[in-house]
Each structure stands twice: as structure tokens, then as C-alpha cells.
Structure 1
Amino acid sequence: MRRPLAAVPLAVALALALLVPAMAMTAGVIFPRGSVIGLVPPAGMTESQAFPGFEDRARNASLIIRDLPPDAFGQIEAGMSEQALAAKGVTLLKQEPFPLAGARAMLYEATQSAGLVTVRKWVLLAGNETVTAFLTFQAPDSESEAYPSAVVKAAFATLSIRSVTEQMAALPFALTDLAGFRPVATAGGTVVFLTDGPKNAIEGAEQPVFVVSIGAPSPREGDRRDFAVRLMSGLPGVRELRLERAEPLRISGQTGFEVMATGKDAKTGTPIKVVLWLRFGPTAFLQMVGITRQDDFPDLYDRLRALRDGIESR
């Protein structure tokens, strides 16, 4: 099940920076479905149908790729200490900086016992202003000839990040009217973040933010009001939330719902206005959230609605 936006921290929307050309694209790079991160997988590995990444089932080897918010880098790095890994049954053998153009990266090599089998692990943690890449390669020690350390490192060295244009093209929906906003980045292949203003790093809603995502399942007709209010009330990063209205409306010819609220940015205390729109389909729903400074909302409301009405399914 895909997560609705309520499961995505508001801080992500308020902190993302514009994607810059960070890593040159290497020939043969494959991006797993819905992933911002891609690479050239080792020979013998194919894209997995069970997780984002690649696998060699014959050798029980896997390469899992996760794209996370930029601020996840420090949190993950803190948890990769020898002591922290040992508590999980993982023995850290080596850690070192890993050379990647345009990104800070660390490589970890470790082993873990699974019954009578010793599993070798390589973890690449890489990040720039827009995304944290977290890659885990693992294979049984008995397959060290097929997957030596040099092969894993060679694959990691081809890591690439999609441009914003490529990320937008891969979404299951298109934004036909940006209303003066600019796309910042996408997440998970189903979420897009947009903003307007000169700054790339946003604090306290100093620039408006608009986030579009897909969630499932779609609620039953009689449950839609409660569902919409729960999503609004569950938005992280907002305190002193006060609902102003919650009512049904049609959006682009489909049934929908609008919830309007005021509140304060949890970090800075800045008064903010939040509008949440839902457009319901038979099995899934489109969720749109606009966040602005409270005083700026009257001037931005029409532009937010233009963004809302310009979203089309691909």
C-alpha cells in the first residue's frame, strides 16, 4: 500500500533544496521502478520484483536501494557505529569515505551470521542537498568469488540521481499548470514537492510549499470527511492546528474534499495556513497540500487552486 502524504514528514517539504547536477550519468544505469537512485548493477543481477533494487536469486545476493530525505544522512550515519551494529548482530569490518562526485559518501563493510551461513554486507550511504541514498548489498560468504568487494564497489561507483525533469516524467500524474511554482524533487515515485521563491532551503514556511502524492485505498463515500480531517490533523511539523472548514467539492470533474486550517510551524512558531485537497478515485486518491505563511495565503490561494486543477493522471 502506498503511503499518503500524512506519513511523509512535513519537514521534508520545508527543507528540500533544488536538485543540482551532482553526479554524471553513467552508461547502462538502471533506475528501479519509482526510485530516484540508479546504478549499473553487477553482472548476474536483475531488477527485483519484490523490492527496489536488484537480485541474483541463484546466489542469494541482493542490492537494495532506498532514497530518503537529505536530513536522513546524519541520522543513519550515527547508527552505523561499531557498537550500534554489534547490537543488531552485525560485525563492522571497515568503514571509509567513498569517492562520489557531488556527494558525501561513506562505505561500510560488515558480516552477519544467519544460522550456519555468514553473510557479507556492503552499505553505501551517500547524500547531497536533495536526497540521501542508502544502498545495501549482501551475499553469502560462499559467493565471494562471484561478488568480491571490487565488484560491489564498482557498482556503487556508478550511482546516479535522476534530474528533477526525469523525476517529474516518471510520476503517475502530470502537472499541467505550475502557477509560478517550481518542482523541487520527488519521493518514492508518487510524491512531488514544489515551492516558489528565491531560497532553496525553506524554514518556517518562509516560502509557500505545495506537495502532491498518491495514497491508497480510497475511503468509502460516507467516511471521506473523517478521513480528510484525520489526514489534516495528522500532518507532522504543525502545532496548534485549528480547522476552519471541511467540505466536499468536485475537483477536475471528480469527487473530492477540501480541508482548511491554521496553525504554527512546529520549529519556528510561524503562523501558517494549510489547505488539503483530496481527489478520490475508485481504488486510490490524489492528495494535495498547500502550506503558506498565514498572511500570504489570500494572495496565493488562486495559484494553489490552479496547481490543484492542473493535475492530470498519465
Structure 2
Amino acid sequence: MMPFRVLVAVALLIAATCRGFAADVVFPPGAHVGMKPLVGLNRAKSFIGFETEDQGVKVLIADLPADAYAEVVSAFKANPAGTGNIKPESLETPAGLAYYTVESGRDGASNVRRYSMILPGPTFSGYVAVQVPENASKIYTDDAVRQMFATAQIRNEVPVDEQLGMMPFKVTELSGFKNIRMLAPGAALLLADGDEKALETKPFLLLGIIGSAPATPDDRGRFAQQIATTIPGVRDGRITMSEPIRIDGQAGFETRIDAVSGKDNTPVTIVQWLRFGAQTSMRIIGSSPRTDWEKAFPRFRAVRDGIQPRG
């Protein structure tokens, strides 16, 4: 039997090896990428990722398009030496082979060390960016950040409740939509029947907050029609109706548009609802192929009517 003092020594060695990391992989709310954050890093308050208490060290986690990883791999193979004295390195992770870079820079008047890593994902590329100020570089060293990167994992789906919990309002009715995805952390949410490669071929909803509101009630119609022209992916749009309504007791505006969308020029009907606040507006955009509009519109309205304020 191994002597007790040897067991103690082994335990201390293991503890010393692992003391710089959290015990388990942590997925920040809304993130597809998780890792074992270095000691001193906690959930960030204003972005998806981690940060130190003084907000000096930041670890930003985001999704990039699926083909971004392949583009990085191709660039690495074409020029392994890198450019501008920045040489990409490869790294094995539980998520697969990752590529990362390290460079020095400045953030205002401070010297910083910056690290960027990209990971393969099923329908996205995982991305992690780290910034370490000079006064923290003795703790958060190049080797320590590399070891943290090596723990990165991917989860294919972010739980729906987790995504909904990040929005500034409650969504109590999903109306049968199965594809739920946060497009901008805490700001924009997609509810769809189809996948994002051919979104316009089936009904979908976009929910979000815009940081503006009409100055006076008389400006609401102009504001609603003007912002309706900014709906992405729409061509040959024609406003068929635009009128004031009440949404959950608040002033709002409903605008409908006939247009075409997508590479196949799918005829669609779109509804835009605005619910006005003092300085911001809630914006809800529902789009459906025109042939499915009669069934889709009640679903859109059910989601709209199920949105409630938090607190």
C-alpha cells in the first residue's frame, strides 16, 4: 500500500497543478463556448464572458459564422509564419483543434496583452478574446491563458430558458416556435420555424429593444414607417397598412409590408409592432411566406401579447 505521506504529496501536487483554474468548465449565460476560467475571473456584468473584479482582465466569448473557422485554417496553412510579427498557433481542446494568436498593444494609456482564439462549432465558430493589462501580466501569463484556452468546450445549444432570461423583458409565450436563438446578447431574439439558412421560407419573429423613440405622439407614424424601411433582407417592399394601436395598455404602432425576401425571391408579408417607452421602443418583426400568413399572424400576436416587463 502506498504510504500516507506519499498520498498526501500526490494530493498536494494535484492541487498545486489545478489551483489556477475553476474546478469545472463554466459556460457564461448565453454562450456556446465554455472553459475553466483562471482564478480571479468571474462572470462579466456587461458582456458574455469573464472579468476580474476590477474589470481589468477581460475574457469575451462570442459566436462567429460557421465558415470563419475554415477561413482561419486556410490562412494558417497558406502562411504559417503569420503576418506583422503575429504568428498563429494551434492548440488541442475538447472542442477540437483551435487556433490562437498573441500580441501586445495599448488600451488608452495602458500596455496590454491580447489573445484571440477560434474554435470549430457545428453551425458556428466559437471565438474567445482575452485582454490582460500590464499590471496583471505576472498572474495572467501567456502560459496561463494558453492553459485556460486548452480547456475550452462547445455546447451545441444554449438552453432556451437561459436565453430568455437574458432579455430585458419576459417572453411567456413561444407559440410553437422551436428554433430560439439570441442574436445580440440581451438585446435581440429570434424565434423561427426554420433554420437560418432559409429563414424567409417559414414564419419567424425578431424581438428586441431599440434605443430611440419618437419625440412626440405626432411623430409615431413617421417613426414607424421610417424604421420599417430598415428591415434587413427585404426587397421591393410596399407598406399596406400603418396605424396606431395599444399593446398591453401602452402606445404602439402596427405596420404591415408586402415584399420579397431571400435568394428565391419568396413573397412575404411582414408585420412590425412598436411599443413606445420614454426613451426606447420595443420592436417586434414577424415575417411569413404570404401563403402561410393567415396561420402565422395569430402566432405572432400571441408572442407579442405574452411579452411582459421584468420585475
Question: TM-score, normalising length from structure 2?
Answer: 0.74
For residues 203 and 139 of structure 1, do their structure 2 counterparts lie closer, same or farther at Cα, with a shift above 3 Å needed?
same
Aligned-residue offset at 1:190: 2.3
- Is residue 215 of structure 1 aligned with residue 199 of structure 2? no
Structure 2 counterpart of 1:256? 252
Q: Within 2, Cα distance between the matches of 1:246 and 1:105?
A: 52
- Is residue 124 of structure 1 aligned with residue 120 of structure 2? no
Contact 1:67 1:131 (C-alpha < 8 Å) held by counterparts: no
Structure 1 counterpart of 2:303? 307
For residues 53 and 201 of structure 1, do their structure 2 counterparts lie closer, same or farther at Cα, with a shift above 3 Å needed?
closer
Counterpart pick for 2:279 among 270, 277, 283:
283
SS at match of 2:86: strand
For residues 235 and 91 of structure 1, do their structure 2 counterparts lie closer, same or farther at Cα, with a shift above 3 Å needed?
farther
Contact 1:204 1:268 (C-alpha < 8 Å) held by counterparts: no
Provide the aligned C-alpha RMSD in A. 3.6
Aligned-residue offset at 1:66: 4.3
For residues 62 and 202 of structure 1, do their structure 2 counterparts lie closer, same or farther at Cα, with a shift above 3 Å needed?
same
Aligned-residue offset at 1:267: 2.5
SS at match of 2:263: coil
Q: Within 2, Cα distance between the matches of 1:264 and 1:137?
A: 42
SS at match of 2:200: coil
The aligned amino acid for 1:112 is S
Aligned-residue offset at 1:146: 1.8
Aligned-residue offset at 1:136: 1.4
Structure 1 counterpart of 2:190? 193
1:42-93 Cα distance to aligned partner (Å, 9 max, x none): 22345556755444588x953241424545735984897679x85xxx5322
The aligned amino acid for 2:208 is S
* Percentage of pairs with the same residue: 27
SS at match of 1:139: strand
The aligned amino acid for 2:270 is V
Unaligned runs of 5+ in 1: 1-24
1:115-158 Cα distance to aligned partner (Å, 9 max, x none): 99874332122353455443211335786542233321333324
Aligned-residue offset at 1:231: 1.9
Aligned-residue offset at 1:207: 1.4
SS at match of 1:41: coil
Q: Which structure exhibits the higher relative contact order, with contacts defined as CA atoms closer than 8 Å and separated by 6 or more residues?
A: 1
Q: Within 1, Cα distance between the matches of 2:279 and 2:297?
A: 29
For residues 269 and 218 of structure 1, do their structure 2 counterparts lie closer, same or farther at Cα, with a shift above 3 Å needed?
same
Contact 2:200 2:289 (C-alpha < 8 Å) held by counterparts: yes
Contact 1:37 1:65 (C-alpha < 8 Å) held by counterparts: no
- Is residue 109 of structure 1 aligned with residue 101 of structure 2? yes
1:203-223 Cα distance to aligned partner (Å, 9 max, x none): 152211111111223322232
Contact 2:57 2:136 (C-alpha < 8 Å) held by counterparts: no
Structure 1 counterpart of 2:93? 99
Contact 1:279 1:285 (C-alpha < 8 Å) held by counterparts: yes
For residues 128 and 91 of structure 1, do their structure 2 counterparts lie closer, same or farther at Cα, with a shift above 3 Å needed?
same
Contact 1:70 1:128 (C-alpha < 8 Å) held by counterparts: no
Contact 2:275 2:283 (C-alpha < 8 Å) held by counterparts: yes
For residues 242 and 55 of structure 1, do their structure 2 counterparts lie closer, same or farther at Cα, with a shift above 3 Å needed?
same
- Is residue 237 of structure 1 aligned with residue 237 of structure 2? no
Contact 1:35 1:189 (C-alpha < 8 Å) held by counterparts: no
Q: Within 1, Cα distance between the matches of 2:253 and 2:114?
A: 47
For residues 231 and 163 of structure 1, do their structure 2 counterparts lie closer, same or farther at Cα, with a shift above 3 Å needed?
same
SS at match of 2:62: strand
Q: Within 1, Cα distance between the matches of 2:147 and 2:249?
A: 50
Pair member with larger Rg: 2
Unaligned runs of 5+ in 2: 1-21
Q: Within 2, Cα distance between the matches of 1:145 and 1:139?
A: 10
Q: How does 1:48-87 map to 2 (within 5 A)?
A: 52-56=48-52, 62-68=57-63, 70-71=65-66, 73=68, 77=72, 86=83
Contact 2:48 2:62 (C-alpha < 8 Å) held by counterparts: no
The aligned amino acid for 1:260 is R
